[in-house]
Structure 1
């Protein structure tokens, strides 16, 4: 989670109210944030560099606040204050709009007639850095450039050239360098050296010029010194270059929505035209609003509350999601502003309703069923069960940190066998079962996967115990009121499955559809889970019976 550091007194002034540390901590908790630390610049320097280095440092109290990684709109003082004020119903969420461009032509936007002071300027710079480290993925996906528009002339050209052909004076330097020289210069820079790898091995480097040939920036490394912004800047030209257009749009929206409140016409942004080589013309920023419709019943059931649709709409409005009941039953229309790029699914809206309602106000209850689908290693669901990964609809986890977190489990059998292996010294027989969810790929779902409730049971003993596991199936079906029969009931028939011993496996059918298998496990499966005795198992889909 990123941490936002804000001056306490400045924060309280913006909120229009003073709080004790305990009161503000409680407010953060209610809003889904965490007040991580109360400190000062002097304390930080003393802790990191010693008391001598801390002499003369500021005693101004700093609040360090942990913000969810997907809430880009809370990464600066302005967004944090705006979110809290709307949450406390002291302010309505602003409506953002754009005006037609008259000068610049770039992948960008303009904040026209802005007024900075020291705190606003520092917050503006810090937000860019927070975004670079967060959604921009350390500038690999998006690089932000900000320029004093009054020092440059449009239209602007975004192109690429050999590093030896690029020459300009970079930010805070006193002379010009070629791009090749800059890459050598910044190899020892504590900040910029971390970004050199993005382009240093490329034959061409990206570069942005104005109409007079002045270099604005060499993204994603450094801006030009000529167009640097200051406290006196009145018109800011913001450009975003990216490998991911969606991330670029979100980043641009975040910068302009957070600081357009300081423009002469608050919350209004001047648009910029982008002309592509093929002649296509696009206008940025998009500042797109969209509407989602969901039911009050959906939120009530998943949060565990019982509120009217009108009350839920009020809760969502407090979270900067302007909402109203549509008049069709308990359907709620939710407007998602450009500041809330984190809202991509109905579950995100439900989560905001829960935050506004207050987690401490939700009555504690025990779930009727266990519904967690655990992670597991790819080996657990393939090699150990004698399966081919290409034949399994497994959901893979990107960038797994350990082998145990490579995929989401597609079977409960592996977990039961690992449990038996850990308890194999216990008296025989060992009989275990689990009713829980697995996750399977499903292209028909909006998230590309679905949960599937399954029942799995194993019997481990000196003899295979096929009759025991078969008897369990009959008892389960009896309790589910499913009678034996081929059409309207259940039955089994001989089948082959690589996990089971040949000739000792059966496929289970219910109402004409296959719901799973039962049988004696293959000796290779037994040995791969470090077991030494026979084992029978049943693995069935129980969702049709719920």
Structure 2
């Protein structure tokens, strides 16, 4: 409606409460290092208000917290707490408390017992099960508030009689934790009449480390109004762009150089790039006002050769009994490299401002994603035969963008008797499908077991693939030696048992990965 413009300002009272963070929460054996907190006062809660709070909490758990893995929220009755608070870890088999919903007398369950027997504990047990110690938020009197990210304590249950709320967000990265807290605090300020926010002092975990949360100050950003107009295809002047951004609750000011300096509200977790501000300009302008128009040039559409090649590969693998999976192109070093027993290669595109600690780089091969898929399906029947056709990205200084995308094919087979001969048969079927000759040579690369892996060097096209590992005729083009990089067009083998152990896979696994563009003759380097 445009009745309120510009970034909203939120008053934040001085802190009266400290949360002391123990260094143990950052230990790899009990890893949940970040916490941010706030106090909400002055509001009157009824059943409807409680529903608002709980619904907001669960929506944020799903949307930003990635089902509590990246961030989880706790809401408590502050009057049931004895200041100050301690965020620490405890022994899961010795420490006890009564979780939310526990009723009646009797000894409170242990932390591990909560994971095994409480409904919420069972639902989210995978987040803590492998940790040596579990995170606990408690007050100085030893009364437990919660076991993040699983369950709150019954003693701090929020009811319609609650007048002061204590809110905590714990998680893996400070950015996600802080933004989540900002969203819930600002939402409560706007939706609960009379609500006021008070900061909380976070002390530690390092010596002398202190900070106040939440930080509700707007974040600075810039956008080029001329670029916004070009992207949207409409005539929007710089001053009009400023007004549209103000309607979206940003502070915006036109700078002398023609760019717009923007102050983004603290609750806008989704503003990561100038294009996000261009999207806000489009929303305020109105999508219905953007008139579709025909492209001035005329072309005849057709299937791209790489897509035809990909469909051919999919048809082949499905015919061999494999099931297609699709894994995420964004991954992280721990899964992509360290679990495979290798160091990062330096060939990967890395994300400067990752939204999640699980999305810090673009994959350079498909095999780690297949291993992760097999890990997630260890409870399903064997054998498991999966494949993927997808893009990988490698740094390339000669490319216009500094990186190039390659279309790859990968497949994996997990079974009690899976061995080298099984995956070699798949390799020969692929080479036969593309009418390629190849010679095989030993392949020493992660994640394969030494002496149980091979690479295929491609020779001439047009004849059936060579079998039994016999050397092919000399290649007519440099595809066989992979160009200057020496990268084979296809490699396969048995996965090292040490790698399988790190992934928690108990049965043998064989894997294969191939460069589809080189197999199909679309690229010789």
Considering the TM-score relative to the shorter chain, is it more than 0.5?
Answer: yes
Over the aligned positions, Cα root-mean-square deviation in angstroms equals 4.4
User: 161, 171, 191: which is aligned to 2:90?
Assistant: 161
Rate the CA distance shift 1:232–1:94 in 2: closer, same or farther, 3 A.
Answer: farther
User: 104, 117, 122: which is aligned to 1:185?
Assistant: 117
Q: How far 1:536 sits from its partner (Å)?
A: 9.0
Q: What is the CA–CA distance in structure 2 between the aligned matches of 1:215 and 1:129, rounded to whole Å?
A: 21
Conserved? CA contact 1:115–1:262, under 8 Å = no
Matching of residues 136-535 of structure 1 within 5 Å: 136-174=65-103, 175=105, 176-186=108-118, 189=119, 191-261=120-190, 268-326=197-255, 328-366=256-294, 395-396=362-363, 406-407=390-391, 441=395
- Structure 1: gaps (5+ residues): 1-87, 384-388, 411-439, 453-496, 507-515, 540-546
Rate the CA distance shift 1:449–1:346 in 2: closer, same or farther, 3 A.
Answer: farther
Matched, 1:103 2:31: no
Matched, 1:90 2:3: yes
Rate the CA distance shift 1:320–1:367 in 2: closer, same or farther, 3 A.
Answer: farther
Conserved? CA contact 1:147–1:236, under 8 Å = yes
Rate the CA distance shift 1:267–1:330 in 2: closer, same or farther, 3 A.
Answer: farther
Q: What is the CA–CA distance in structure 1 between the aligned matches of 2:292 and 2:203, rounded to whole Å?
A: 53
Q: What is the CA–CA distance in structure 1 between the aligned matches of 2:210 and 2:201, rounded to whole Å?
A: 10
Q: What is the CA–CA distance in structure 2 between the aligned matches of 1:126 and 1:244, rounded to whole Å?
A: 23
Q: What is the CA–CA distance in structure 2 between the aligned matches of 1:375 and 1:340, rounded to whole Å?
A: 42
Out of 270-279 and 111-120, give the one that drifted further.
270-279
Q: How far 1:350 sits from its partner (Å)?
A: 0.7
Conserved? CA contact 2:42–2:195, under 8 Å = no
Query: 1:426-446: per-residue Cα shift (whole Å, max 9, x none)?
Result: xxxxxxxxxxxxxx647999x
- Structure 2: gaps (5+ residues): 21-35, 314-343, 350-361, 374-385, 406-457, 462-473, 490-513
Q: What SS is found at the alignment partner of 1:171?
A: coil
Conserved? CA contact 2:518–2:524, under 8 Å = no
Q: What SS is found at the alignment partner of 2:159?
A: coil
Q: How far 1:527 sits from its partner (Å)?
A: 11
Conserved? CA contact 2:116–2:122, under 8 Å = no
Rate the CA distance shift 1:161–1:376 in 2: closer, same or farther, 3 A.
Answer: farther
Out of 313-322 and 336-345, give the one that drifted further.
313-322
Rate the CA distance shift 1:536–1:116 in 2: closer, same or farther, 3 A.
Answer: closer
Q: What is the CA–CA distance in structure 2 between the aligned matches of 1:499 and 1:247, rounded to whole Å?
A: 53
Query: 1:60-111: per-residue Cα shift (whole Å, max 9, x none)?
Result: xxxxxxxxxxxxxxxxxxxxxxxxxxxx213345212422101343531111
Q: What is the CA–CA distance in structure 1 between the aligned matches of 2:306 and 2:66, rounded to whole Å?
A: 27
Q: How far 1:365 sits from its partner (Å)?
A: 3.1
Q: How far 1:126 sits from its partner (Å)?
A: 0.8
Conserved? CA contact 1:163–1:205, under 8 Å = yes
Conserved? CA contact 2:19–2:201, under 8 Å = yes
Q: What is the CA–CA distance in structure 1 between the aligned matches of 2:10 and 2:403, rounded to whole Å?
A: 36
Matching of residues 58-137 of structure 1 within 5 Å: 88-92=1-5, 93-105=7-19, 107-137=36-66
Conserved? CA contact 1:116–1:262, under 8 Å = no
Rate the CA distance shift 1:151–1:350 in 2: closer, same or farther, 3 A.
Answer: same
Q: How far 1:183 sits from its partner (Å)?
A: 2.3
Conserved? CA contact 1:396–1:406, under 8 Å = no
Rate the CA distance shift 1:239–1:391 in 2: closer, same or farther, 3 A.
Answer: closer
Rate the CA distance shift 1:406–1:505 in 2: closer, same or farther, 3 A.
Answer: closer
Q: What is the CA–CA distance in structure 2 between the aligned matches of 1:335 and 1:223, rounded to whole Å?
A: 36
Corresponding residue for 1:474?
A: none
Q: How far 1:167 sits from its partner (Å)?
A: 1.4
Conserved? CA contact 2:114–2:121, under 8 Å = no
Conserved? CA contact 1:111–1:269, under 8 Å = yes
Conserved? CA contact 2:39–2:197, under 8 Å = no
Q: What SS is found at the alignment partner of 1:145?
A: strand
Q: What is the CA–CA distance in structure 2 between the aligned matches of 1:364 and 1:403, rounded to whole Å?
A: 40
- Aligned residues, how many? 345
Rate the CA distance shift 1:229–1:442 in 2: closer, same or farther, 3 A.
Answer: farther
Query: 1:165-213: per-residue Cα shift (whole Å, max 9, x none)?
Result: 2111111211422223322322xx2x54220121123221111110111
